């Protein structure tokens, strides 16, 4: 059984494990105040070209989202998201549990636009409604699509004009930055958003996300929120070590680029066989619409997720590749796929 | 510089790193639904003699406390704690941030008694006050003291009589169970409390706490709270692997026993030199009261924490040992200490 | 200037002021434990035919909604509402501020159906999403429509089948029960829902809502929530006195019936002049779509609210009548309206 | 049966009811945006000599405390209070339910001092603890004592020096300002604190508290919090009308002065009979320590509250007078008291 069900199926890239072994008995301060975290912070600041931004390490995406959003907003302020946004769908109400409304906009491709934001603002005009104060986007999105520089700039300008924070969930940021059609680089993010995170969990680390807070107004006192929400890891060094390993020599981007290539090769195979997709995604997630009989057949040897029922006979499913996916895995699947379709 | 400042200065016991290496490329389901977590849950249930209890893995102590307490209590219910309890002092209001009052009782040795509980109940008698519904204790406590079986039984009976949950913060449970004077074993905890956790972070793991919920009334739906509060690790397998490694062959207890021995050897050295202690602690934390001049001298070669100012010339300080402390570290310190005192 | 802008423009029905005067110097216990509240509770239980239900008095609708919902739900549970539901739009995120997600369903007439509920349930299937646990409806709705007995029964059955609470916001319950097309009576509500409230603020009282909790599972300990959320009025007697005054001789329903008649008379006048409506509402709120020029003309002598821009030249506006509206007010408006249209 | 059990036993001063009657059919905007609220705001600003402060009307003390504190603090900030402070004892954890810790200081006379504040600050020094950011005091306190100008000035200076907000719960502010020993006037409060409220519920109103926010940093957007927490009364005019009635001709202070005189007359009677008191309170609450037999005898004709058990035979009880207490009530009690003691 080979699994394409998600991008957190394995442990970590070997370089990370090496670093853990090498440094295991070094004594360091706890809670992220160690030299490994210090070095990783510096490396991130250098890679994104933002020497003054705050960098914090957390263990997971939901934790990062809830801690940052709860930190930045006042109680009557809300966050806008696409209706497919992770905070709106698959975080068990984590944002609401900190007291904040998530206002969702219908966005078939998983992407917000200035028009969405302006429509939302019209509905929130006095103290009988919440105040939209943050725009949350994911890049790559939950359905594998990406934002272009033009699109991100437009969101940035709309947010500035309306006094809104722009926050980017980068659980799959590396996948976006190495996708076909992408024209953004790491250095762009501090220019266009108030905060974003570099996802480690889905990018080759054991676990960990690096939150970058660019806007100093919302950077202050973040350590208090981090501790209060349970996200301050005692042995924070583990996070620093992993991000240094990933960012040195751009391993982070290289691993994502390779995962994208594998996924797109798989996509071409589906296309060649005449299948269509729920959405045209250039990253490491694809959503082919398949006959249920073929799905059953594939499930004998492969794991992948049902995503959406299309009709009585067809279902959109999701295949995901990761840093740990290999040539052999993808080729085996493609071979089987072709065989099943031509039987 | 040798550090005795806390018990989370290093990485993890080598056996844990080995396991991570061995299993690194195995594909498993995420979010704790993998076979490694399954095996670790079974091992814990067996070690504590409680086949039906729920076992969940989290990444840190504050996260475990806030998630469990918020899960178990209704909004108007409060938790009782010693005034030195971790949830009352060093978790940045994490429990209050989930909406619950922590009602504290003055407890000079860090330990709650039935008398504390009964005094608190007298003050909370109608709907103008919160309802005390949970008793939180730490074993070992934040100042290194431990509960005996008689004490724990008395708390258990008081809680049962008053319809209160008893919850034990076991960040240093292994230290307690291997201390001089301890008469409790792992199998006792499911008998006397509704929930407790086995601390991994301070017990040889990279990170991780294993929460055991014995009382089925508060075990239901815990996965929802775990996800909502940001504590559900994507690669949950990392937690399962670590706890299995620690619990096999009782490594967990052996490591703690050794740390206690080292710390108590250090304690004897202070005693022999005529120093007194803030509290008589039999575990891996000691709190000698030292002249400030000696403290300065020691700080040239050793790290340890100031705990409490005693008078203009004396301070109680804290020395902590861990699974990674060695003979050499302790002996070097003791030699220096004797030398400084006899100069 | 005559105002039709809402149904809380004046003080209270004179009978209520008389009662306040008569009883002003009686000494009673505070916090709703007085004989006036006791009598009002009994009267409500009798009117709704539910001798065992819990009855609590609060001062406003948002307070009632947030206190009840926060009381009934566990942290990971959510409430479903129409997208026009008051809790979703005009309560400044009050429900989210207590930690709960409001999941909204598009409902053009302001009314939820079993199909809405079932669609929502499909999206919430495991612990990565919240658990829908309550259905919130308003009767009359925020746009003046009402539920029939058939519709309410269907919702009730759907909720029972799916283990959901059904809660009815009755800010304008009297308007619903006295509307054209209504076939529900007060005695029906305890049969079909778990809780509902009788709105006083919009029904002739100075202020006050009477929350009825039918389901004993969620009635327990409600006084704690009431105090904790700031809704327990010190001189609770004021609420009891008002509800007794309103419910004796069915004054409550008579006042609403009269307001409905006035509003529907106004509606006919608009219809006769050829205007259409945003929605066909049989209660004390109507939403005619008018030319902007006519709106400007009317605004010289009347207050009413803009509701929704229809096109560059037309706006849907809202006219509301209340217990204090008079024949003269309505006739004056109708005369002016006809005159303006025929000029 | 005559009751001295609290100061919210009756309705309202007749002047208030007159105003409600006179204005009953006037049509006004809702939610405090009416001319009656406008006039009351102006009157308050004039009486306190602070033309720019924000004034908001709420319906009760717990609601005022929770709404203001939740509005002013960030999630990791805490409020300091005396251990007898209302927010710490009798508000069912309302402050914690909004996410904030109430840190209490032992204060036998119910009053905080700069020494309390400084001791608390020493314990909260980094991001592992909450940040004390507000000092909450009550004047008069929960046990009837009052702050002098010297004491209040010292607190003010300590708060300024430590960047803390000073907030005064004025549920019984009028009682304080008219007590023996008081040297504060209304105009002092905007000078010494960031916010305070004028209690109406215990001062002659049906209900209502007037919150004054002096510090513009925490005044902004308060209407959002007011609506979100359920405290924005639809017919806000009722609150404006009441405060105007109370503040014109200083009725507010006159009523309190009279209640204090009655209570202190009763206190002298107890003193003359040789009884001591739990605390020496100069306002409308006294706490005599009485033999249990006398208490039982008095309870045949009078209501009053048990406050604290002193020993097996004695209990401290509480007698409270109000604007509605009469000469006859007090004299009857004093006569009975003397008779019972001399039998």
ipTM above 0.90, yes or no: yes
Place of tokens 């829902």: C193
Rounded alpha-carbon distances, angstroms, from residue B334 to B1, B266, B268, B275, D94? 14, 7, 10, 13, 52
Contact flag A76-D128 (C-beta cutoff 8 Å): no
Under 8 Å between Cβ of B287 and B314: no
pLDDT exceeding 90 applies to what percent of chain C?
99
Q: What is the pLDDT of residues C13-49, one digit of tens each?
A: 999 999 999 999 999 999 999 999 999 999 999 999 9
Q: Mutate which of D81, D89, D93 to test chain B, going by most B C-beta atoms within 10 A?
A: D93
Q: Which residues have a Cβ under 8 Å from the Cβ of A192 and sit 6 or more positions away?
A: A152, A153, A155, A156, A166
Closest chain C residue by Cα to residue D61? C230
Place of tokens 């009855």: C55
Q: What is the pLDDT of residues B215-227, one digit of tens each?
A: 999 999 999 999 9
Min Cα separation D210/chain A (Å): 19
Q: What is the pLDDT of residues B143-195, one digit of tens each?
A: 999 999 999 999 999 999 999 999 999 999 999 999 999 999 999 999 999 99
CA neighbor of A163 nearest in space, from A209, A207, A198, A194 = A194
Min Cα separation A158/chain D (Å): 23
- According to the 3-state scheme, what is the secondary structure of A270-295? HHHCCCCECCCCCCCEECEEEEHHHH
Angle of helix A35-48 relative to helix A237-247, nearest 10 degrees, comes to 40
How far is C-alpha A179 from the chain's CA centre? Answer: 14
**Which pLDDT score, from 0 to 100, does residue B258 have?**
98
**Which pLDDT score, from 0 to 100, does residue C342 have?**
87
Distance CA A262, CA C48 (A): 66
**A212: part of which helix (H) or strand (E)?**
strand A209-213
Under 8 Å between Cβ of A245 and B18: no
**Which pLDDT score, from 0 to 100, does residue A342 have?**
87
D246 is written with which tokens? Answer: 């109370």
Distance CA C73, CA C194 (A): 13
Contact flag B93-D76 (C-beta cutoff 8 Å): yes
Nearest residue, CB atoms, B131 vs list C71, C130, C224: C224
Rounded alpha-carbon distances, angstroms, from residue B259 to B18, B184, C156? 22, 18, 61
Q: How confident is the model at residue B32 (pLDDT cuts 50, 70, 90)?
A: very high
C296 is written with which tokens? Answer: 């400007």
Q: What's the pTM?
A: 0.98
Strands D165-169 and D131-138: parallel
D200, burial (CB in 10 Å: exposed 0-12, middle 13-18, buried 19+) = buried
Distance CA A284, CA A141 (A): 11
Statement: residue C343 has pLDDT above 80? no
D292 is written with which tokens? Answer: 């249990």
| Residue ranges in chain A modelled with pLDDT below 50 | none
Rounded alpha-carbon distances, angstroms, from residue D177 to C174, D149, D199? 46, 11, 12
Rounded alpha-carbon distances, angstroms, from residue B275 to A251, B280, B338, B341, D52? 54, 12, 12, 11, 61
Sort out which chain C residues have CB atoms less than 8 A from A101's CB and list them.
93, 96, 102
CA neighbor of C132 nearest in space, from C158, C110, C152 = C158
Sort out which chain C residues have CB atoms less than 8 A from A119's CB and list them.
none
Once rounded to an integer, what is the mean pLDDT over residues C307-321? 97
Q: Which residues have a Cβ under 8 Å from the Cβ of D196 and sit 6 or more positions away?
A: D167, D168, D169, D170, D173, D189, D211, D212, D214
Contact flag A225-D71 (C-beta cutoff 8 Å): no
**Which pLDDT score, from 0 to 100, does residue A8 have?**
96
The neighbour count for residue A92, using CB atoms within 10 Å, is 29
Strand order in the sheet with D102-105: D54-58, D209-213, D195-199, D165-169, D131-138, D77-82, D102-105
CA neighbor of D209 nearest in space, from D238, D187, D184 = D238
**Which pLDDT score, from 0 to 100, does residue A302 have?**
98
Task: For chain D, list the contacting chains (3+ Cβ pairs, <8 Å).
Answer: A, B, C
Q: Which residues have a Cβ under 8 Å from the Cβ of C299 and sit 6 or more positions away?
A: none
| Residue ranges in chain D modelled with pLDDT below 50 | none
**Which pLDDT score, from 0 to 100, does residue A46 have?**
98
**Which pLDDT score, from 0 to 100, does residue A343 have?**
77
D19 is written with which tokens? Answer: 């105003």
**Secondary structure (DSSP) of D8-32:** -SS---HHHHHHHHHHTT----STT
Interface of A with D (CB under 8 A): 70-71, 74-76, 98-99, 127-128, 130-131, 221, 223-228, 232
Q: What is the pLDDT of residues C178-224, one digit of tens each?
A: 999 999 999 999 999 999 999 999 999 999 999 999 999 999 999 99
Interface of B with D (CB under 8 A): 75-76, 78, 89-93, 96-102, 123, 127-130
Under 8 Å between Cβ of A202 and A167: no
Q: Exposure pattern of A138-174 as b/e (b: 16+ CB <10 Å)?
A: bbbbbbbbbbeeebbebbbebbeeeebbbbbbbbbbb
Distance CA C66, CA C44 (A): 22
Q: What is the pLDDT of residues B73-88, one digit of tens each?
A: 999 999 999 999 999 9
How far is C-alpha C292 from the chain's CA centre? Answer: 29
Statement: residue C105 has pLDDT above 80? yes
C270 is written with which tokens? Answer: 């608009």
Once rounded to an integer, what is the mean pLDDT over residues B309-317? 97
Q: 3-state DSSP call for residue C2? A: strand
Distance CA D117, CA D129 (A): 15
Rounded alpha-carbon distances, angstroms, from residue A33 to A30, A37, A164, A308, B219? 6, 7, 31, 45, 35
Interface of C with A (CB under 8 A): 75-76, 78, 89-93, 96-102, 123, 127-130
Closest chain D residue by Cα to residue B75? D97
Length in residues, chain A: 343
Q: Mutate which of B54, B66, B127 to test chain C, going by most C C-beta atoms within 10 A?
A: B127
D242 is written with which tokens? Answer: 């009441």
**Secondary structure (DSSP) of C119-173:** HHHHT--STTS-EEEEEEEESS-TTS----HHHHHHHHHHHHHTT-EEEEE-TTH
Distance CA D70, CA A117 (A): 28
Q: What is the pLDDT of residues C222-276, one digit of tens each?
A: 999 999 999 999 999 999 999 999 999 999 999 999 999 999 999 999 999 999 9
Strands A285-286 and A314-320: antiparallel
Place of tokens 């991994």: B200
**Which pLDDT score, from 0 to 100, does residue D85 have?**
98
**Which pLDDT score, from 0 to 100, does residue C103 have?**
98
**Which pLDDT score, from 0 to 100, does residue B342 have?**
87
């Amino acid at each position: 059984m080979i699994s394409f069900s998600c991008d957190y199926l394995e442990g970590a890239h070997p370089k990370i494990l090496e670093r853990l072994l090498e440094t295991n008995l070094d004594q360091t301060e706890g809670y992220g105040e160690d030299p490994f975290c210090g070095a990783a912070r510096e490396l991130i600041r250098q890679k994104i070209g933002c020497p003054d931004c705050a960098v914090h390490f957390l263990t997971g995406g939901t934790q990062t989202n809830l801690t940052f959003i709860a930190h930045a907003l006042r109680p009557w302020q809300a966050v806008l998201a696409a209706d497919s946004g992770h905070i709106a769908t698959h975080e068990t109400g984590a944002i609401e549990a900190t007291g904040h409304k998530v206002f969702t906009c219908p966005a078939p491709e998983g992407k917000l636009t200035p028009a969405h934001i302006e429509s939302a603002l019209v509905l929130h005009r006095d103290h009988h409604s919440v105040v939209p104060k943050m725009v949350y986007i994911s890049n790559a999105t939950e359905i594998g699509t990406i934002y272009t520089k033009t699109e991100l700039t437009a969101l940035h300008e709309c947010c500035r004009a309306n006094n809104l924070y722009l926050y980017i969930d980068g659980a799959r940021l590396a996948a976006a930055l190495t996708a076909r059609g992408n024209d953004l680089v790491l250095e762009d993010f501090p220019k266009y958003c108030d905060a974003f995170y570099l996802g480690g969990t889905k990018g080759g680390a054991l676990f960990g996300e690096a939150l970058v807070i660019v806007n100093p107004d919302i950077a202050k006192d973040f350590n208090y929120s981090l501790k209060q929400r349970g996200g301050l890891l005692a042995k924070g060094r583990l996070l620093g070590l992993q991000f240094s390993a990933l960012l040195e020599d751009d391993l982070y981007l290289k691993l994502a680029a390779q995962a994208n290539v594998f996924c797109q090769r798989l996509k071409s195979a589906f296309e060649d066989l005449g299948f269509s997709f729920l959405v045209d995604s250039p990253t490491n997630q694809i959503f082919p619409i398949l006959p249920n009989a073929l799905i059953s057949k594939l499930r004998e040897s492969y794991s992948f997720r049902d995503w959406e029922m299309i009709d009585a006979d067809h279902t959109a499913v999701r295949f995901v590749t990761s840093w740990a996916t290999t040539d052999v895995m993808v080729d085996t699947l493609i071979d089987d796929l072709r065989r099943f379709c031509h039987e």
